[in-house]
Amino acid sequence: MSPRSASVNEELRRRSRERLLQAAVELVDEHGFEATTLGDIADRAGSARGLVSYYFPGKRQLVQSAVHRLMHRTLEEALEREPRTEDGRERLARAIDAILGLARDRPVLMRQHMAGLLQSQGFVQCPEQRRLAELLSDTVTRYGSEDAAADYPMLRALLMGAVYSALVPGVPMPIPVLRAELFKRYRLDRELGVPPGTEPSGGTGEKDLSRFFATDDRPE
């Protein structure tokens, strides 16, 4: 039996990593961060426990990468939803609605994500985080920004603040109020975008997350 080629091995490693990311999101969403172990994630992914450590230095880094994957694929899906558009104002409205939709539909997951970002490690510099940054930077550029390097961090900060405000235990702010404030900040008509709760089937509340972690040939 001839050995596998380097390209086949690389594809198998990529698929294994995808399965670990999906398993991490599913389990933390179902049981919370503390109740989810790396062994649980490996079992759900059908992988050896040692393979988790091969890809990620720890559980926090794995979960953060997994949430960034869910975020960037959710954002990508929202931006490319039919009818497709190149209008920068519509695309920014869709981006805001997509992130607010995750806060509404995945509160356990997103609350843990926000808590993880406040740890000393901060952002995990991984392909998933970089792709999310690229999409948001492109969004502000299409919106009309002349300095995306400055305007992207501001959009990121405003979205993070809105997610945090929506998820504070005991005193959460309503999603529609946060949406209205963000739309006012960017002078967007409220008819733009897809307000959370009005998405077509397959929105951010869908239980099956496999499409966000598809093992196809899309680049990271």
Under the banding of pLDDT at 50, 70 and 90, the label for residue 125 is confident
Alpha helices in the chain (DSSP H): 6-31, 38-45, 49-55, 59-79, 88-105, 107-117, 127-143, 148-167, 175-185
- Please indicate whether residue 123 or residue 94 has the higher confidence score (pLDDT): 94
> What's the predicted TM-score (pTM) here?
0.86
When mean pLDDT is compared across 3-17, 65-79, 91-105, 187-201, the lowest value belongs to 3-17
How many angstroms separate the CA atoms of 217 and 214, rounded? 9
pLDDT at 219 over 50: no
**Per-residue CA distances from 145 to 12, 28, 96, 114, 154 (Å):** 40, 36, 16, 27, 12
- Please indicate whether residue 34 or residue 4 has the higher confidence score (pLDDT): 34
Under the banding of pLDDT at 50, 70 and 90, the label for residue 69 is very high
Residue type, 125: Q
Under the banding of pLDDT at 50, 70 and 90, the label for residue 124 is confident
Please give the average per-residue pLDDT across 183-197, as a whole number. 92
Which pLDDT value is given to residue 217?
Answer: 45
User: Shortest CA distance to 42 belongs to which of 32, 31, 53?
Assistant: 53
Which pLDDT value is given to residue 8?
Answer: 66
Please give the average per-residue pLDDT across 60-82, as a whole number. 93
Which pLDDT value is given to residue 15?
Answer: 86
User: Shortest CA distance to 175 belongs to which of 165, 185, 189?
Assistant: 165
User: Shortest CA distance to 33 belongs to which of 100, 94, 117?
Assistant: 117
Instruction: Provide DSSP, 167-206.
Output: H-TTSPPPHHHHHHHHHHHTT--TTSS--TT-PPSSSTT-
